[in-house]
Amino acid sequence: MSSSHRSIDAAELDRRERYHLMIACVVPRPIAWTSTMSSAGITNLAPFSFFGGVSSDPPTVMLSIGRRSDGSHKDTGRNLLETSEAVVHICSRDDGEVMVASSEGLPPETSEIDHLKLSTTASDRVAPPRLTDAAIAMEARRVHHQEVGHGPIDLFLLEVVRFHLREDLLSDGLPDPARLQAVGRMGGSYYCDTAAPFVIDRPK
């Protein structure tokens, strides 16, 4: 049986259609639940799923942050340009609703961390605090910034300088996917988690 496919030229779509197609096709996406700090010392927290690992030596992740409709930077983008530091958290299923709530577009002078009454712990190497109960927290510094596309979006490469892993989620010193229940984003308002991982052995 052969499958039939719907083929779509990206140029035929308007901006909104392209966005919805992209987020439904590139799935599941890990989520960088990111705390930053402005030059005035105001903390910020927001999730970003155009996020991925880039390199392990040194550990480097990428974050892609769109602009607001008036072309201004989102708070996270502006903070990364101003102060260069972040803590990227990996959110587990229990934190899913709070993580999504932290995407609310609050004014720059209001911290989502205070607004959502989340407890934080001082980071060791960077100024933004980390979320005390998060499954994984990665303290990171900006090593590269580039504007990409028509938005434009701001693409950041961040080098991870310190990891914090919740002890109760570890197996053999590494986060255990089933206990971690890391949340991923898919199309629309769909999310998934890693509660039911499976093993596929690689060829020798």
Ligand X SMILES: Cc1cc2nc3c(=O)[nH]c(=O)nc-3n(C[C@H](O)[C@H](O)[C@H](O)COP(=O)(O)O)c2cc1C
Residues that bind ligand X (CB under 6 A): 31, 44, 46-50, 64-66, 74-76, 100, 103, 105, 185
Q: CB of residue 157 vs ligand X: minimum separation in angstroms?
A: 15
Looking at beta carbons only, is 55 or 103 nearer to ligand X?
Answer: 103
Q: CB of residue 34 vs ligand X: minimum separation in angstroms?
A: 8
Q: CB of residue 201 vs ligand X: minimum separation in angstroms?
A: 32
Mind spelling out the 3-state secondary structure of the chain? CCCCCCCCCHHHCCHHHHHHHHHHHCCCEECEEEEEECCCCCEEEEEECCEEEEEECCEEEEEEECECCCCCECHHHHHHHHHCEEEEEECEHHHHHHHHHCCCCCCCCCCHHHHCCCCEECCCCCCCCEECCCCEEEEEEEEEEEEECCCCEEEEEEEEEEEEECHHHEECCEECHHHHCEEEECCCCCEEECCCCCCCCCCC
Looking at beta carbons only, is 143 or 148 nearer to ligand X?
Answer: 148
Q: CB of residue 32 vs ligand X: minimum separation in angstroms?
A: 8
Looking at beta carbons only, is 13 or 22 nearer to ligand X?
Answer: 22
